[in-house]
Amino acid sequence: MQQVLATLGFRWWALCKVPMLFLLRPWVTTHSTQKVSVRIPLGWLQRNHLNSMYVAVMIAGADAAAGLLTDAICRQNHSKAIGLSFKEFNCKFNRRATAATEFTCTDTKLLQKAFKEAIRTGERQNQKVKVIATYTDKGQLLECARFTIVVSFRAAAIRS
């Protein structure tokens, strides 16, 4: 039930804020402050001419996993006074993703440290996080890509 609620909440947010992400039909398979996994199906819209997942879809999946984990940490600390963005994005593709792909981010401790430092100092903090993309082929879990994303936190200005 928690997966369904997390997925519906994320899809609603995506529909309102990032419609392209909504169209990819992401499914939140794990959502906690320790780990976030987002699964994107391989359908007509997500497929390229090689019958594998289009690179932009994979980047959107990595963005969603890192963003949801960052959001979970902000919510855990009851803070809406944090602005966050992605500053840098690096990826290494190991193989073509020929099935529904799961994007997983588990760098909780690194994100929490940057979050707390941003609150303490009021200055921008940058933190690298890793997202791993996997899919299942013939019962075997295969890694198809690794992403390194620099998440940038800063304390939001208080408006009067």
105-121: pLDDT as tens digits: 999 999 999 888 888 88
- The domain in which residue 37 lies consists of 2-155
Grouping H, G, I as helix, E, B as strand and the rest as coil, residue 66 is helix
Number of domains in the chain: 1
Q: How far apart are CA 95 and CA 84, in angstroms?
A: 31
pLDDT of residue 80: 66
Asked if the structure places residue 56 within a domain, the reply is yes
* C-beta neighbour count of 10 within 10 angstroms: 22
Low-confidence ranges of the chain (pLDDT < 70): 78-81, 157-160
- Beta pairing, strands 27-31 & 101-105: unpaired
pLDDT of residue 155: 75
Q: Bridge-partner residues for 84, per DSSP? A: 153
Residue 12 belongs to domain with CATH number: 3.10.129.10
Contact 84, 153 (CB under 8 A): yes
pTM for this predicted structure: 0.91
Q: Return the pLDDT at 74.
A: 82
List residues bridging with 131 in a β-sheet: 105, 147
How confident is the model at residue 51, as a pLDDT?
Answer: 93
